[in-house]
Chain A
Amino acid sequence: MTLANRIAGVCLIALFAVAAASAQKQTNELTSNDIWSVSMRHDTLLILTGEGVNFTTEAARDTIAWDGFLDLQGWAIAYGGGKALIVLLPENADEQSNRLWLYDFATGNQKRITPRFPSNREFGEKDAKTLADFYLSDATWHAGSFWLACNDGGLLRLDDSGNDLTAFFPGIDKKAFAPRSIPPDENERYPDSALSVRSVAVDDSGGVWTLFDSRIMLFNPGDTTWRETTSLPEVKELLDVSAVGGGETTRLYITAATVEKGDIDTSLFRYLPASSEWTKALETTPLLTHIGAHIHAVIASVPENRLYIATDEGVGLYRDDGAGMLVEEIESGDFQQRMLAAYDLDQADMSIQDIDFAATEEDTFFVIATSQGLFYSTDERRDEREKNEFRYLFRAVSIASGLNQVYSYPSIINDITQKAFFAYNLTENARVTIDIYDYNMDHVIRIIDKSPRRAGSNLPRGRSTEEGADYWDGTFNNNGGKTVAPGPYYFKISTDKGQRAFGKVIVAKPR
């Protein structure tokens, strides 16, 4: 081989390597770092953020490529049977939340469900009340049904086709009925609070455990009967329930507000229905180091009788030996310190908001939803925990870049749309320049030149765009002049911090 050919070969290899490096794209695309809730089962991961719901069906890998995004403002999510149910936030402050959104992963079909709450007059209640809108506080899935806790009263079951919604009232052994069949009386008041269901969990044998006030009730879906358990005098209010096992081996973990020496605090209790035995499982230390700290989530589905418990203070891993207090295995601050250290985050800025745990045949996954992004760890084995850093932090904005969510809307400038706005979000205030280029990257016009723009996190829709200025009308002067030639155009948004992003807009407007 001649020297020239060798050089040619090396140059080609080097050039292709450069090209390959330049072609890499960011794969973890979230729309918000403020992650309220997370649900993971097998390979499907859903997160609820302030912007919507991100999901992937291939979570069991080193990097998460988000498959899709639902532009919904939600309160809670539940996943099961290949479907996701999102409890939507009310559209305005005067409303309760009763809108549901059902998404089918297999078909991509979505539908909105707006159930009308039935009158409880059918059950002979004296003060019959009904409500057109109602407040849903919890959701879970089991064996083809979503179970929803209604804080205004009732346990709701929605079949996962979204077509059959029925309501059951605690303590009332009646056959289920469909709310839609009874027209609501809008002049009546809210249902009695004794019928409100705060939380719901389903054990492995299908028993539906619900909480209201200071009572725990087991609902049997088969014969629609209720069974009440004993209650604890020191419990002021039951807050949340998780169920492990089924039948005689069922074990419940219940978060409750307790009153001790006149102070209100939160504690974790273990309840064994088989023996009606209540025990306190966790004291207020070390997790709950101040009054008011509360437990966000208890994940009891970890193998070997372990629980992950997330609170305002952090996340801890505990072992339950069946009696007495839980044994702490990983300190509550340990996870948090690892997360903060790995990504140079400020502890004061981050709060733990939800956790979930999932297992596949090959691995286990633990995800933590925080106000600063989604942390994700695989193979969280106790014996090797020092080696297992939280490997991945998924954020809407990479730590280096402060410019994101860049696009034009509408992206086609024609005789109807007339102009396109440029959407972009800054993580800090900056001076922004927007340029337009044609297909040959020839400069067309500068839209704004080093104009000050505010960080988008506190602005409507989290966007830094200034609607009155950040637009192009498809002309050479951006002021109704001569329209440019039809075709695709490319815009560049750059900041004085050195950030740049590109987008596309099409002009099909008459001259």
Chain B
Amino acid sequence: MAKSLWRNLARISIGVAFFCAVSVRANGLGGFSGAFLRGPVGANAAARGGALTANPAYACSWWNPAAIVTNRNKSLSAGGGYRSLGRTEGLAAFEFPIPPRVGMGLSVLYRGDPFLKDLYTGGPYANPEKEAEDGAYTSISFKIGLSYLVSRTVSAGLNISAYYQKMPTGFAGDDFTELEYSSASALGGFDLATRFKASNNLIFGLVFKNLLAGFDWVATGEDFGVPLTDILPPTLVAGSEYHARLLDKPFIWTADLSIYALESLSEAADHVQATLNNGFEWQYWDSFHIRAGVRDILLNRDMVAHPNRYWNGFSLAVTAGMRFDLSRIADGLHGNYALATDKIWAGVEQQLDLVYTF
């Protein structure tokens, strides 16, 4: 058992390395559009290093719409989390099969920072600077997913997305200590997905995300309004899930590789990036599963070509969590909890969600 496990892991690693060698070069992801979308959604994924593309159990419309149809039951999930430095989030999702071959899912995700404190005006507005009012950043993402079972081993999916963001963009008021807010929306972005069950132990997923999604910002302040460019970069995510056994108990290893090579469908990125997420779930007990992982390992050519620059910006998150059975409360109810380090060690991140399958 152990030999076959490690042999298969080696095969997967080689595949990942191939991806890395082919596609990666230069800088980090910081500053790219869509930062609010890059973190793992749901406590299950958050505990497993954010690697859930191949076979998500819930919130499939977010992770991989092709997986919706593979879940035979309806699923209702809701949860939330608090991250470091005031960042918060909330999730709600609903998926249901439409026999015999179709599935549909809806998800809504709130992410924001309602604690924009210690903001100061200054510069052209005040000298010395003055403390401004507290602010908030809000983003809401909607996804509607459709899934189709092509064959026993292959399914395809499509998401249609809508996004909304709001944040302060300028100062206003008599002494410019009030905040002027702007909001922007992106309608009609979509994801294309597929899922392939290679064997009883191995599942692959591939999702092409954020196609044709861009925000129509107009940043406003006192007496000005300026359009801002904010196009979500299309992202290719390749995920895998491998089932094995550890101490004779089910052990599931997942890995996701996200590749950022495009600024938009018509424009290549200046710098191609990739991030690797890894995680596992160990089902040692029936009602309590242990999870852990490592998230957002940046892979690019700087690792070799510019190691100083690479390590200056290097960061990763260590994740852990659990799945706990709540069937004593309601049949089909379980909960997920995740705890993770912040990538820059500013604090810990926590997420909790409940999933009801029926």
CA distance in complex: A11, B128 (Å):
49
Q: Which residues of B contact A417 (CB under 8 A)?
A: 122-125
Complex Cα distance, B346 from A502, in Å, reads 8
Mark each residue of chain B from 310 to 339: 1 if its CB lies under 8 Å from any CB of chain A, else 0.
Answer: 001111010000101000000000000101
Tell me the smallest distance from the CB of A20 to a CB of chain B, in Å: 11
- The reply on A438 being an interface residue by CB < 8 A is yes
- In the complex, whether B116 has a CB less than 8 A from a CB of chain A is yes
Instruction: Return chain A residues, CB-CB under 8 Å to B182.
Output: 508
Write out the residue numbers on chain A whose beta carbons fall within 8 Å of the beta carbon of B264.
none
Q: A408-B120, A410-B120 are in contact. Are A510 and B229 (CB under 8 A)?
A: yes
User: What residues on A are CB-neighbors of B227 within 8 Å?
Assistant: 510
- Minimum CB–CB distance from B226 to chain A (whole Å) comes to 5
- Chain A interface main SS type: mixed
Measured between alpha carbons, how far is A19 from B267 in the docked complex, in Å? 43
Given contacts A508-B228, A511-B228, contact A486 B167 (CB under 8 A): yes
Complex interface bits, B110-144 against A, C-beta within 8 A gives 1, otherwise 0: 01010011111111110011111001010000000
Q: Which residues of A contact B130 (CB under 8 A)?
A: 71
Residues in A neighbouring B358, C-beta threshold 8 A: none
**Residues of A contacting B111 with CB < 8 Å?**
439
For residues 1 through 49 of chain A, which have their beta carbon under 8 Å from a beta carbon of chain B? 2-5, 7-8, 11-12, 15, 18-19, 22
Beta-carbon contacts under 8 Å, B179-214 to A? 179, 182, 184
Interface-located stretch among B16-24, B26-34, B69-77, B239-247: B26-34
The reply to whether A410 and B221 contact each other, CB–CB distance below 8 Å, is: no
Whole-angstrom distance between the Cβ of B272 and the nearest chain A Cβ: 15
Contact A446 B119 (CB under 8 A): no
Is A3 a contact partner of B285 (Cβ separation < 8 A)? Answer: yes
Q: Are B343 and A421 in contact (CB under 8 A)?
A: no
Interface string of A419-442 (1 = CB under 8 A from B): 101010000000000011111111
How distant is the Cα of A437 from the Cα of B83 in the complex, in angstroms? 14
Q: Which residues of B contact A442 (CB under 8 A)?
A: 28-32, 35, 38, 296, 298, 315, 343
Interface size class of B (residues with CB under 8 A): 35 or more
A461 part of interface (Cβ distance < 8 Å): yes
Report Cα–Cα, A476/B269, bound state, in Å.
Answer: 14
Interface size on A, residues (CB 8 A): 59
Q: How far is the CA of A406 from the CA of B120 in the complex (A)?
A: 11
Does B116 lie within 8 Å of A488, measured CB to CB? yes
Interfacial residues of chain A within 440-455, with CB under 8 A of chain B in the complex? 440-446, 449
List B residues 134-163 near A (Cβ within 8 Å): 135, 137
Find B230's partner among A8, A418, A486 (CB 8 Å cutoff): A486
Partner of A409, one of B33, B123, B344, B347: B123
B164 within 8 A of A: no
Report how far A92 CA is from B27 CA in the complex, Å.
50
Across-interface contacts of A492 in B (CB, < 8 A): 344, 346
> Chain A: which residue is nearest B338 at the CB level?
A15
Taking the complex as formed, is B262 at the interface, i.e. its CB lies under 8 A from any CB of chain A? Answer: no
A3 to B286, CA, bound (A): 11
**Closest CB of chain B to A53's CB: distance in Å?**
14
C-alpha gap A412/B182 in the complex (Å) = 12
A415 to B38, CA, bound (A): 27
Interchain CB contact under 8 A, B350 and A19: yes
Write out the residue numbers on chain A whose beta carbons fall within 8 Å of the beta carbon of B118: 406-407, 411, 503-504
Closest to B232 in A: A485
Known: A410-B122, A410-B129, A487-B167. A4 touches B34 (CB 8 A): no
- Do A440 and B35 touch (CB < 8 A)? yes
Bound CA span A436–B346, Å: 13
Are A18 and B30 CB-contacts (below 8 A) given A416-B221, A442-B296? no
Asked if A414 and B119 make an inter-chain contact with CB atoms under 8 angstroms apart, the answer reads no
For the complex, what is the distance from the CA of A377 to the CA of B140, rounded to whole Å? 49
Contact B31 A438, beta carbon cutoff 8 Å: yes
Which of B124, B228, B313 is A443 in contact with, Cβ under 8 Å?
B313
Are B285 and A2 within 8 A (Cβ)?
A: yes
Chain B residues near A83 (CB-CB < 8 A): none
CA distance A260 to B116 in the complex (A): 62
> Is the pair A438, B35 in contact by a Cβ cutoff of 8 Å?
yes
Chain A 450-483 per-residue mask, 1 if CB under 8 angstroms from chain B, else 0 = 0000000000010000000000000010000010
Candidates B30, B34, B123, B343; contact of A444 at CB < 8 Å? B30
Instruction: Specify which chain A residues have a CB less than 8 angstroms from the CB of B125 in the assembled complex.
Output: 410, 417
Is residue A272 within 8 Å, beta carbon to beta carbon, of the partner chain? no
Besides the contacts A4-B286, A15-B337, A490-B344, what 15 more A-B pairs have beta carbons closer than 8 Å? Answer: A4-B288, A18-B339, A19-B339, A414-B219, A417-B124, A438-B29, A439-B111, A443-B314, A486-B167, A486-B215, A490-B346, A492-B346, A506-B137, A508-B217, A511-B229
6 contacts between A and B (CB under 8 A): A2-B285, A409-B123, A442-B29, A444-B28, A506-B137, A510-B229
Give 7 closest A-B pairs by Cβ, nearest first: A484-B31, A443-B313, A4-B285, A444-B30, A409-B122, A508-B169, A442-B30
